[in-house]
Structure formats: structure tokens, C-alpha cells
Structure 1
Amino acid sequence: MKQLTQENYYQDTSYLTNSRFKRYQQCQAKAYAVDNGSWTENRDETPLLLGNYVHSYFESPEAHEAFLAENGDKLLAKTGKNKGHLKADFVIAEEMIYSLKTDDGFSSLYHGYHGDDVKKEMIVFGDIEGVPVKGKLDSVNLSRGYFVDLKTMKSLYAEEWNNDIRKRVPAAVNNILNFGYHGQLGLYRDLLKQMTGKDFRPYIVAVSKENVPDKDILKIDDEWLEEGLNKLKADIVEVWDVIQDKQKPKTCGRCDYCRSKKRLNAVISLNDLINK
């Protein structure tokens, strides 16, 4: 396998990442088409940019400057009274950064105490069900045996309905479960153990995108980490076979890519729609 570095990490495709795996879970056909260049995904890049804006700040001053240099024009308003100034989303990002950087509890957890061996953007890799997998961890405290993932969320505590749990839950719960963050952290914990032989405790520092940001340190219970990792293990071999052209990708029938390929060759009854 190729040796992974900070310079080649994002270009390398010889390892599977959690984010790429999740794309294939949503729709194999669409993810495969995106990978081979036959489909361009149109999506709002603001949430990703906002997350990277906050992440890069806490990685290092150099990383944040590089992010601003690469994306600066995308962060600025092009019209209106705020023309030439930060868009509203990134003004909120600045508030999120301020809320965290002035919090001693966050600083101690994320940056560690004096003398701690803390790695930012640490590359982890290993084998899951025979599939080579890699990941990048926001902050790993090798001295104290834990790692931290920084997540930006619309809200932490606004109540939302969860179909699986069948009750209303804080928004952070839906964010973690619907985006598969419990599986991501379970995966990273497994890869860290493969590399170090040690068990690490995962934490999420969640910060909201509200005008006055909310924040909390969240611990994912072991049963959720195991459930998330087991879901990944159940599908990862099939996904890797699709990527390697050993298996034809399946269509989900509902995404924008699948809709673009849809042809009217069948009649669907009302009862069929209800039962779907």
C-alpha cells in the first residue's frame, strides 16, 4: 500500500475513507458515477466550507491561513451592503471560533495540557474486513488516550423526531446518528488500536451554528460505537467490490442521479406507493 502523508492523503484512492463509504451507502450508482467523472454533484458547499473554516483555525495558524488563501473569495459577499465582507454564515463561524477559543475546558481537551503529546490531523489507517481504510483525526492526545472530533451543527438541543428511536430527541442526536458519526468514531477507534495497540476514548465537541453558539463535549457510549462500526462492516466489502469493478453498483432510485436516469416504463398503484 502507498505510504500516506499530509501531502498525498486527499489524492490517494488506494484506501477507503469513511466519507467515501457513506456516499456509496447512500447510492452506489451515484457515488460510482461521481468517482469516474460521469456525474457532477451539485450541492451547497457552504456547510463544508463553514466546517473547514472552524476546523482549520484550531488545527494551526498556518492551516487557517492556507484555508483563507484558497477559499477567501468564496467567503465574501458579492452584492448588497456587506459586499466585500464575510458572508453571514462565516460571521457565525467567527462566533463559533470565539466561543471555543475562550473556553478553558475546550482548550484543555483539544490542545492538551503542558507536556501532553497531542497530534492534530493525525492520519490513521488499517484493515476492516479485508478492506484498506484510512482516516484523519482532528486531535489525538496520545498521552491521555483519547481523541476529539470537532463537529459543527445547526443546533444541539432543538427537539426533532427520530424515526429509529421513535421519539423526539435533541438535534445533536439526529446529527450524530443520521450522519453516521457513531460509526465514524467507532472506525477511528478501531484504526487507532490497530496502529498503537491501545484503546482510545472518542469525544465529540459539538458547536452550534446559532447566532450565540451552543457547545458541549459529547461522549458516544460503547454500544453506539459498536453498532455504528458493525453497520460499516456489514457493507464495506460490497462497497469496495463496487469501487474495484468487481460488482455492478446498485441504484437507490431516489437521488438526483437516479432521477436523471429514470424512464417511464411501468405503472405504480397508490397501494404500491403507500407500501414503499
Structure 2
Amino acid sequence: MRELTQENYYEDKAYLTNSRFKRYQQCQAKALAVDIGEWVEDRDETPLLLGNYVHSYFESPEAHEKFLAENGDKLLAKTGKNKGNLKSDFVIGDKMIESLKDDDGFNNLYHGYSDDDVQKEMIVFGEIEGVPVKGKLDSVNVSRGYFVDLKTMKSIYSDEWNAELRKRVPAAVNNILGFGYHGQLALYRELLKQMTGREFRPYIVAVSKENVPDRDILKIDEEWLEEGLNKLKSEIVGVWKVIQGEKEPEKCGRCDFCRSQKKLTGAIKLSDLIGE
């Protein structure tokens, strides 16, 4: 396996990443089509840009300047009364940054103290069930044995329904469980352990996209970390076999790619639809 660097990390396909794995969880056929260039995803890149906008600021001034240089035109409004100025999404991004940058609790956790060994955008790698996996961690405090993932969320505490738990929960719960962040953090912890032989504590710093952003430090319970990692372990070998061409990809039947491949072959009964 080639050595992973900041320069080749994103172009490398020899390792599986958590985000790529999650795409295969959603629909193997679509994810493979995207990987081999047969399908181009049509998706709003604003949430990703906003997340990177906030992340790069807290990585370093140089990283933020590089992000602005590479993406500056995507952040500006092209039409309307706001033409030439930051789009409203990124005005919120500035408010999110302002809410965190002078918060001592955040700074001590994310940046550490003066004598701490803190590594930003640290690359971790290893194997899960024999599959090569890699990741990049926002902030790792090597001295104190923990790492931090900075997550931007629509809200942290707004009341939402969770179908799996069958009750109303704070929005952060749906965000973490819905996007599989508990599995992501458990994966990163495992890769760190493989690399260092040490146990690291994972934390999430959540900051909301509200007009007055909310923020909190979240700790994932051990049982949720185990549940997330076990789910990943149970599916990762099958996903890797699809990527390696050893297994035919399964279609979800509902995504845009599957709809594009659909052929009408018969009628569906209303009772069958209700049963679904």
C-alpha cells in the first residue's frame, strides 16, 4: 500500500473511507457507478462547502486561505441584491465561527493547551475485517488521549421524531444516528488504536446552522460506539467485494440511479405498497 499524505489522500482509492462506505450502504449499484465514472451525482454541494468553510478556519489560517482561494467564487451570490457578497449559507458560517472562536471551552478542547501535542487533519489507517480503511481526524490531542470531530448541524436541540427509537429526540440525535457518526467515531478510535496501541476518547463539537448558532460538546456512549462499529464490521467485507469486482452490486431500487435504470415489467398491487 502506498504511503498516505495530505497531497494524495483524496485521490487514493486503495483504502476505503467511512464516507465511501456509507454511499455503498445506501445503494451499492449507485456507489459503484459513481466510482467507475458511469454516474454523476446531482447534489447540492452547499452543506459540504459550509462544513469545510468552518473546518478550515479552525484548522489553521493557511488552510482557510487555501479553501477561500479554491472555492471563493462558489461562496458568493451571483444574482439578486446580495450579488458579489457571501451567500446567506456562508454568512451563517461566519456566525458559527464567531460563536466558537472565543469560547474557552472549545479552544481548550479543540486546540489544546500550549504544551499539548495536537494534530489537525491527522491521517489514520488500518484494517477492519481485513479491509484497508483510512480516515482524517479534525483534531487529535495526542498528549491527553482524545480526538474531536467538528460537526455542523441544522439544530442541536429542536424536537424531532426518530422512527427507529420510536420517540421524539433532540435533532443532534437524528443527525448522529442518521449519518452514522457513532460508527465513524468508533472506526477512527479503532484505527488510532491500531496505529498507536492507545485508547483515545472521541468527542463531537456540534455547532448549529441557526441564525444564533448553538454549540455543545457531545460524548457518544460506549454502547452506541460499539453498535456503530459492529454494523460497519458486519457489512464492510461485502462492500469491499463489490468494489473489487468479486460480487455483483445490489440495487436499492429507490435512488436516482436505480430509477434511471428502471424498466416496467408488471403492475404492483396497492396492498403490496401498503405492506412496504
State TM-score, norm by structure 1: 0.99
Alpha-carbon shift at residue 275 of structure 1 (Å):
1.1
- Look up the equivalent residue of 1:135 and give its one-letter code: G
C-alpha offsets along residues 201-226 of structure 1, whole Å, 9 cap, x if unaligned? 00000000001000000000000000
1:202 equivalent to 2:202? Answer: yes
- Code of the residue aligned with 2:248 in structure 1: it is K
Number of residue pairs matched? 276
> Match for residue 259 of structure 1?
259
Match of 2:211 in 1: 211
Rounded to whole Å, the distance in 2 between the matches of 1:210 and 1:98 is 13
Give me the whole-angstrom Cα distance separating, in 2, the residues matched to 1:221 and 1:144: 19
Structure-2 separation of matches of 1:169 and 1:33 = 36
Distance in 2 (CA, whole Å) between partners of 1:108 and 1:51 is: 21
Gaps of 5+ in 1: none
For the residue of structure 2 that corresponds to 1:198, the secondary structure is: coil
State how far apart, in whole Å, the 2-side matches of 1:155 and 1:258 are.
Answer: 31
Report the secondary structure of 2:151's partner residue: strand
Q: What is the alpha-carbon distance in structure 1 between the residues aligned to residue 270 and residue 234 of structure 2?
A: 33
* Structure 2 CA distance for aligned equivalents of residues 246 and 96 of structure 1: 45
User: Which contiguous aligned blocks of 4+ residues in structure 1 show a shift greater than 3 angstroms?
Assistant: none
- The answer to whether 1:231 aligns with 2:263 is no
In structure 2, what is the Cα distance between the partners aligned to 1:274 and 1:212?
42
Code of the residue aligned with 1:252 in structure 2: it is C
* Alpha-carbon shift at residue 266 of structure 1 (Å): 1.8
Query: How far 1:168 moved relative to its partner?
Result: 0.2
Return 5+ residue gaps in structure 2 as ranges: none
Name the SS of the counterpart of 1:263 in structure 2: coil
Query: 2:162 and 2:207 mapped to 1: Cα distance?
Result: 21
DSSP-derived class of the 1:161 partner: strand
TM-score normalised per structure 2: 0.99
The alignment's C-alpha RMSD in Å is 0.4
Aligned residue for 1:47? 47
The letter for the 1-side match of 2:207 is: V
CA drift at 1:249: 0.5
Q: Percent identity?
A: 79
- Equivalent residue for 1:22? 22
Q: Does 1:112 align with 2:112?
A: yes
- Superposition deviation, residue 102 in structure 1: 1.2
Structure 1 residues 115-157: Cα deviation after superposition (integer angstroms, max 9, x where no partner) = 0000000000001000000000000000000000000000001
Alignment of 1:80-99 (within 5 A): 80-99=80-99
Question: What residue number does 1:33 align with?
Answer: 33
